[in-house]
Amino acid sequence: MRQEPDPVPVPADAQLSPPPFAPAAGSKWPFPPFRTWPAPVQVGAVAVGLPALVYLYKCTMLVLFQHEILYMRRWPPGARSRPLPVPPKSLAVWDVHLPRLPSRKLPALHASTPRRVVVYLQGNGGNIAHRFDKFDRLLTAAGRDETAILAAGYRGYGLSRGRPGEKGIVDDAARFLELARRSRGEAAGVRWSRATEHGADFEEESDLCAPPPAMQDTASTARTVIAYGHSLGGAVAVALATRPGYPPYAADLVVVENTFTSARDMVKALYPSQSPFHYLGVFLRSKWDSVDAVRAHQSCPPGIALVASTADEIVPPRMMTALHAAMVAQWGDDRVQWFAVEGGSHNAAFERPGWTAVWREIVRWAEMERASRSAQGGEGGDTLCVSESKVK
């Protein structure tokens, strides 16, 4: 049998050298100081750790300030501080302030005069005054002498107070949609002020002026109301049409232009799958999931017109296609119509000739919907909408 050699005795006063990467004496940190690391390890740690820290910082900022990114109410500069600019001579514009909560006001613009009202729900950027050119084209397309526009100003946009959020924006849009249905006597607490060449100030204006003719004497049962949402406003319009307990025919027709299927899908579209930011959608506080809202809504909604630009450079066109498919599967072809604007971009579809023709068709459809419900003697009920695909 092999005999082990006797261990070498160690003097009691001998100093033992610490092993590599050992923590300093008395330190609670389990790792040694960075300066004691070998040079190759230091370089590798910086090369990996610095990008990781930058990524974590950016992710944290995106999550914390997501509403500042989603609701770009401060862009362009001055959108939250400047008073209403001088409207074009072709538009007769009123400021409308709705009482909502104590010390808060909801501004809107009311353009033109007559028997049908288009409630405009804007996208996520700027304020309602930045849409004057679009309103002018819309009045031309829909009939300037017969159409009024009530452009809703969400909380936190323009000179309105509060902070935007999904539920709050939908609540605000519902208030303006209800206003479009009311006659003068029913619009208690609503303040109107005429916009002039001197402009107007949402915060300081206190003169009470008479509402424009379109909002005075026309009975609510005779007024055709169209809810028109663009981009984010399209998601607002879908949320209104599918809102549980909301009157199914608060609007005679809902127009959805260049919107997205959900905010989470937009995050994935903006950031490719190779990007780590592609997966930040799970942290969104404002979901704006239109497809899920459609699939969960069993009642028959008002007619819905989907207006899609073929050259949309911001929202992938496939999202409008997916939303259309979900609506047809849920409610049937007779409640949903598709309108394509050839060559239209995301924000400037109204500049294309096809957009005017589309809106003439939409107005004709809205008048038919209104006449049909009037002939039935009411606003419609909470009826079940059955599509042919479901029957089969």
pLDDT for 111 equals 53
Q: Are 147 and 120 in contact (CB under 8 A)?
A: no
HSE value, Cβ hemisphere, 13 Å, CA-based, for 175? 24
As a whole number of angstroms, the distance between CA 145 and CA 66 comes to 42
Residue 356 has which token pair? 């005017």
Tell me phi and psi for residue 227, to 5 degrees: -95, 120
pLDDT for 153 equals 84
Taking only the tens of pLDDT, the chain with its 392 residues reads 566 666 666 666 655 555 555 555 555 656 677 778 888 888 888 888 888 888 888 888 878 877 777 786 766 666 666 666 666 666 666 666 666 543 344 555 555 446 788 999 999 888 887 888 899 899 899 988 888 888 888 888 887 778 899 999 999 899 888 888 774 334 434 444 444 444 433 333 333 334 454 455 444 446 889 999 999 999 999 999 998 876 656 899 999 999 999 999 999 998 887 777 888 888 888 999 999 999 999 888 889 999 999 999 999 999 999 999 999 999 999 999 999 999 999 999 999 999 999 999 999 999 999 888 877 765 554 555 655 445 44
pLDDT for 55 equals 81
pLDDT for 103 equals 35
User: Taking the CA atoms of the chain, what radius of gyration do you get in angstroms?
Assistant: 30
Residue 353 has which token pair? 């000739």
pLDDT for 305 equals 98
As a whole number of angstroms, the distance between CA 385 and CA 298 comes to 7
Residue with tokens 């509402």: 211
pLDDT for 132 equals 86
* Phi/psi-derived region of residue 268, left when phi > 0, alpha when psi is between -120 and 50, beta in every other case: alpha
Q: Hey, how many other C-beta atoms are within 10 angstroms of the C-beta on 176? A: 23
Quick one: CA torsion of 86, 92, 97, 98, rounded to 10 degrees?
-150
pLDDT for 247 equals 65
Tell me phi and psi for residue 360, to 5 degrees: -65, -40
Q: Which CATH code for domain 70-376? A: 3.40.50.1820
Collapse the DSSP code of 336 into the 3-class scheme (helix H, G, I; strand E, B; otherwise coil) and give the result. strand
What type of residue is 113? T
pLDDT for 5 equals 67
As a whole number of angstroms, the distance between CA 42 and CA 190 comes to 67
List the Cα angle 176/178/179 in 5-degree steps. Answer: 60
pLDDT for 92 equals 65
Q: Give DSSP secondary structure letters for 267-312.
A: HHHHS-TTSGGGGGGGG-S----HHHHHHH--B---EEEEEEETT-
Nearest to 335 by CA among 288, 293, 386: 386
Helix (H) or strand (E) holding 363: helix 353-375
pLDDT for 25 equals 59
Q: Where are the domains of the chain?
A: 42-69, 70-376
